[in-house]
Amino acid sequence: MAKTTFDGKPVPEGMSRKAFKKLVKQERMEAGKEEFLAKRRLKRKEKRAHTHRHKPPPLSEQTQSGVNVVIDCGFDEKMEDGERVSLVGQLTRCYSVNRRTLQPVNLVIANFNKKLKSRFENELYATHKLWENVQFCEGDLPTIEKSGCCEPSNEFSTENMVYLTGDATETLSTLDPGTTYIVGGIVDKDRHKNLCLNKAKALNIRTARLPIDEHVKISGRKILTTNQAFELLVRWVEHKDWKVSFESTIPSRKQEVKVKQSEKETATDADTKLLEERTNDDSK
């Protein structure tokens, strides 16, 4: 009778093949244990270093910039469900960017209602209520000042607002404390044209475009996502330099690639036609 083997090794007399199989596997595991533990220690060390590098600054070290940024989400009915999910991800990234800067802007999310609000409160378990330096207003732009969601200030009156849109003729050069800058919050695959521009005109709000052509070379349609437009404003507050702000938000080696991706996915005047307004980065 042929001798029973496992893994090319003969099974010792008096030991079942099942028991020998278990023994071989255990020996194999013991032999690779040190290597496994070394890899795990290295991975944990790298994770700690990454966490430390990306850890938000303590709130005590942050200094309010005095700049107000409103994300206007008043286009809920113009979005499909998937686009709304994408916008929720972009708003979350806006909060993250603002939380990790030493000079956060005063972020207001206007028209926080309907299905957008429902998604935050149900699917995301209302975690937005824990966000710092963010105010959520259910009302539209003209009502922010009196809505009670922000401290009373004429900075939120329409005469002190600037709606950012790639269709504007005026170019934004600086961000001024006391002025409120509005970024359109919508993902619509560019179905709706001139949303931000037309809304600003209807509300008699001044418009301006980001200085994209002056600082970045991008071929084809120039588009930014809502979170990219917001991050550009935050980076300008940090550096007071548009070129640095663009490079830190949209690396030059990726600019053309991102534009192509945005054309396939999501973009619009409000998703902030600010690169004429966006580059879809998605999220989920």
- Are 269 and 194 within 8 A, CB to CB? yes
Angle between helices 81-99 and 114-122 (to 10 degrees): 70
- Are 235 and 248 within 8 A, CB to CB? yes
Angle between helices 242-249 and 226-239 (to 10 degrees): 140
Active site residues: 188
- Are 186 and 75 within 8 A, CB to CB? yes
DSSP class of 11: P
CA atoms within 13 A on the CB side of 225: 29
Closest by CA position to 265, among listed 194, 187, 176: 187
